[in-house]
Amino acid sequence: MITINYYPKHILKICFFSLLFSAFSLSHAEETFPDFTKIVEKNIPAVVIVNATRTITQNNKKPELNIPGMPEEFRPFFDKFFDGNNGQGNRHRQAPSFGSGFILSTDGFIMTNLHVVNNADQITITFSDHTELDAKLIGTDKRSDLALLKVDANDLPVVTIGTSENLKIGEWVLAIGSPFGFDHTVTAGIISGKKRTLPNESYVPYIQTDVAINPGNSGGPLFNLNGEVIGVNAQIYTRSGGFMGVSFAIPSETLSNVYAQLKNGGKVKRGWLGIYIQEVDKDLAKSFGLKKPTGAVVAKIIKEGPAKKSGLKQGDIILKFDNKVVSKSRDLPLMVGAAKVNKVVNVEILRDKRVLTKRILIEELPEEEKIAGMKQNKIDKVEATGITVEDIDEKIKKKLNIYGGAKVIDISDGLTNNSKIRIDDIVTHINNQPVYNANDFVRKIEKMNNNSLANFLVYRNSTPIYLAIKISN
């Protein structure tokens, strides 16, 4: 018996369009999700494993035994018996370290992170075909955490360096490295942010991604969809010790600059102004006469620095550097660090509510200056009422290199709970006018309009900080 089922025409139409939609969805998915295989195949030969070995010295000498009544002739025997190193005070052990790197030239220049090879006694490079070669350390740059290596080889495969300037948030990227020793592992993700400033890192505008980065990925390349290196995987943000979805890469512009300088001279030179800076918030901007928060306020001038020689003053707000707008204070160290040494640049500043231009000769950043003489500080907002001050002695003046000031010795209970002004803060300037002593502090406060905003320069633990303060007389 044969059964024939008849379906209405509208059902057949629905089925047809469902199939058509499914086919479109699959086609659209193929266009949305990139195929990384060609990028990986092309670049894996140029990605290497970096193995570093360093010697660690440990002092294992036991404390001297002090046994009452023990004959002196027995002491050497007991000292040797209880000393775990056969009487030797120091023990040496080899500590391995591994990461990733990539080949920049056919004759064997390789880039990686400094923390991978720092203080290494021996560095070995493992290639994708498992060939191993010893590497020589050509140069390092502590501030960017980059190191340049060299192996004795020719006709090596190389990566192509791209630009990170045109990266877009949400753009696909992929990393190749050796997390946990799993060689040439590929992970992919998107650009999460650009020009990120990390704590104690003032010279690298980091690229933030959600690409899975783990121990062993450090120093490996970050690729765009054109197969170009646009960053060096360097750090992760974690609370667990493992990847948590936030990773950071050194941009290719920094990579190229460091590579060129290390290859040619073994050292990286950066520009230096010789100032300490802090952010400008809306209240501080208003107190300085700015329409909106912008620029970087000069909190301190370093003696004999370029800024001092060029007439820059404490309280100046830097609006432009070398004709580039300083939108945020974090922009300035990047601009100054990238400036050529011995170059004269125009620096536009706001001083006493007037815009001026200073010409400054950029000098080389000294080795001891950790952040180019620039330090960003959080801005506190306080009420002036209820602050008791006293004169400061000559010892404090000499220590801080100031001519006068007033020390905060008491704060009313209301201010203590609602502000961050602290006892022992030393007020040296109000609206860029020097405060010579406690009486001068009171006189300047009394002359101000009630509920007006004033900028105070205070020293806290020897560090200058500008405060936007609302006056309540």
DSSP 62: P
Fold for 48-151, please state it: Thrombin, subunit H (2.40.10)
- Fold match between 271-364 and 381-470? yes
Pairing of strands 47-59, 122-126: antiparallel
Q: How sure is the predictor about 435, in pLDDT bands with cuts at 50, 70 and 90?
A: confident
| pTM assigned to the model | 0.68
Q: Identify the pLDDT of residue 102.
A: 98
Pairing of strands 426-430, 433-434: antiparallel
pLDDT digits (tens, 9 = 90+) for 272-293: 999 989 888 888 888 888 889 9
Nearest CA to 424 out of 389, 383, 377, 467 is that of 389
Report how far residue 351's alpha carbon sits from residue 289's, in angstroms, rounded to the nearest whole number: 10
pLDDT digits (tens, 9 = 90+) for 204-247: 899 999 999 988 999 999 999 999 999 999 988 766 666 788 99
Q: Identify the pLDDT of residue 374.
A: 41
Name beta bridge partners: 190.
Answer: 172
Catalytic residue among 145, 210, 316, 440: 145
Which is more confident, 472 or 179?
179
Residue 399, SS3 per DSSP: helix
Contact of 171 with 190, CB cutoff 8 Å: yes
The yes-or-no verdict on residue 412 having pLDDT over 80 is: no
Tell me the average pLDDT across 155-183: 94
Contact of 403 with 434, CB cutoff 8 Å: yes
Single-letter amino acid code for the residue at 441: F
pLDDT digits (tens, 9 = 90+) for 49-89: 999 998 776 665 555 555 555 555 555 555 554 455 555 55
pLDDT digits (tens, 9 = 90+) for 13-63: 555 455 555 554 545 545 567 899 999 999 999 999 999 998 776 665 555
Nearest CA to 333 out of 357, 369, 367 is that of 369
Catalytic residue among 144, 178, 218, 287: 218
pLDDT digits (tens, 9 = 90+) for 305-350: 999 999 999 899 999 999 999 998 888 988 998 899 999 999 999 9
115 is catalytic: yes
Q: How far is CA 15 from CA 155, 199, 368, in A?
A: 58, 58, 74
Which is more confident, 130 or 445?
130
The yes-or-no verdict on residue 249 having pLDDT over 50 is: yes
Mean pLDDT of the chain: 82
79 is catalytic: no
Is 271-364 a CATH 2.60.40.10 domain? no
> How would you class 383 by CB atoms within 10 Å of its CB: exposed for 0-12, middle for 13-18, buried for 19 or more?
middle
Q: Identify the pLDDT of residue 422.
A: 80
Catalytic residue among 115, 281, 310, 412: 115
Domain ranges of the chain: 48-151, 160-265, 271-364, 381-470
Candidates 3.40.50.720, 2.40.10.10, 3.30.450.90, 1.10.3210.10; CATH matching 160-265 = 2.40.10.10
Fold for 381-470, please state it: Pdz3 Domain (2.30.42)
145 is catalytic: yes
Sequence-ordered list of residues with C-beta below 8 angstroms from that of 289, at least 6 positions apart, any chain: 350, 353
